[in-house]
Amino acid sequence: DTGVSQDPRHKITKRGQNVTFRCDPISEHNRLYWYRQTLGQGPEFLTYFQNEAQLEKSRLLSDRFSAERPKGSFSTLEIQRTEQGDSAMYLCASSTGPEAFFGQGTRLTVV
């Protein structure tokens, strides 16, 4: 499968713990995006990388959230001191052209 890969698919964590998600984009896609989707809502933009440079961050991305894309390949999204409100599906997407291709997401449940 040469699509966008996300790991893990599911994560259950206790409130206050840190979690890290990984995204492997489609090979040679220079743009990478993170979105968050909650039940009954469309995906909401979190952040965007072009190669290794983080070019845009949403106001939704609080100080507890950090994303990296070392060497312009895979990306990680870390959430520190998780809260129940962080429970959501975290989607990664990549692109070279106008349309973005999404991974299957990581579903985070904070208990």
| Integer-rounded Cα radius of gyration of the chain | 13
Q: How far is CA 53 from CA 32, 33, 41, in A?
A: 10, 12, 28
Query: Which of residues 18 and 30 has its CB atom nearest to other proteins in the complex?
Result: 30
Give kind and range of the element (H or E) at residue 109. Answer: strand 106-110
Q: Is 74 in the site for other proteins (CB under 8 A)?
A: no
**Residue 71 CB, nearest distance to other proteins (Å)?**
18
Residue 57 contacts residue 33 (beta carbons within 8 Å): no
- Rounded Cα–Cα distance for residues 23 and 9 (Å): 11
Query: Which of residues 75 and 95 has its CB atom nearest to other proteins in the complex?
Result: 95
Q: Is 44 in the site for other proteins (CB under 8 A)?
A: yes
**Residue 1 CB, nearest distance to other proteins (Å)?**
12
- Rounded Cα–Cα distance for residues 46 and 28 (Å): 22
Q: Is 60 in the site for other proteins (CB under 8 A)?
A: no
Residues numbered 20-39 forming contacts with other proteins, rule: CB under 8 A: 31, 33, 35
Residues lying near other proteins in the complex (CB under 8 A) are found at: 4, 6, 31, 33, 35, 40-45, 48, 50, 55-56, 58, 91, 93, 95, 98-105
